[in-house]
């Protein structure tokens, strides 16, 4: 996971340097991200679900890094079958959107999942 985190920040610095020219403002963000990684590592052994732990600590960056790491450790089929299936079957979190669904008829097209958010 540390390798993925380092790559993430290396890529981010490179992209910002090319687009903006300056990267000094990223130093504080990187330090904050590093503190989140340290919290994650401290909680890792006692966490029942490390993916949820990553999301609880930081759903914008750390969560993505945890998922990316999972894909590097396991093959894609395992990730899709185990994690995604579990995650998407939680009806209190996700809603499915079926494009072209015709009022209860069987549909064999793509299904998209969203997390509803109330304003």
* pLDDT at 52 (0 to 100): 86
Query: With contact defined as beta carbons under 8 Å apart, do 34 and 10 qualify?
Result: no
* pLDDT at 115 (0 to 100): 72
* pLDDT at 93 (0 to 100): 73
Q: Give 98-113 pLDDT, tens digit per residue.
A: 766 555 556 666 777 7
Q: Is the pTM of this model over 0.75?
A: no
* pLDDT at 90 (0 to 100): 65
Q: Mean per-residue pLDDT for 4-24?
A: 92
d(CA 57, CA 77): 27
Query: With contact defined as beta carbons under 8 Å apart, do 54 and 70 qualify?
Result: no
Give 81's DSSP letter: I
Query: Does residue 91 surpass a pLDDT of 80?
Result: no
């Amino acid at each position: 996971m540390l390798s993925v985190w380092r790559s993430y920040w290396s890529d981010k610095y490179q992209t910002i340097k090319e687009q903006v020219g300056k990267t000094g403002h990223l130093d504080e963000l990187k330090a904050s991200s590093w503190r989140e990684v340290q919290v994650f590592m401290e909680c890792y052994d006692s966490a029942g679900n490390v993916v949820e732990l990553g999301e609880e600590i930081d759903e914008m960056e750390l969560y993505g890094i945890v998922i990316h790491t999972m894909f590097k450790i396991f093959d894609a089929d395992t990730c899709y079958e185990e994690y995604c299936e579990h995650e998407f079957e939680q009806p209190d979190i996700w809603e499915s959107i079926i494009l072209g669904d015709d009022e209860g008829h069987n549909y064999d097209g793509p299904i998209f999942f969203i997390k509803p958010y109330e304003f």
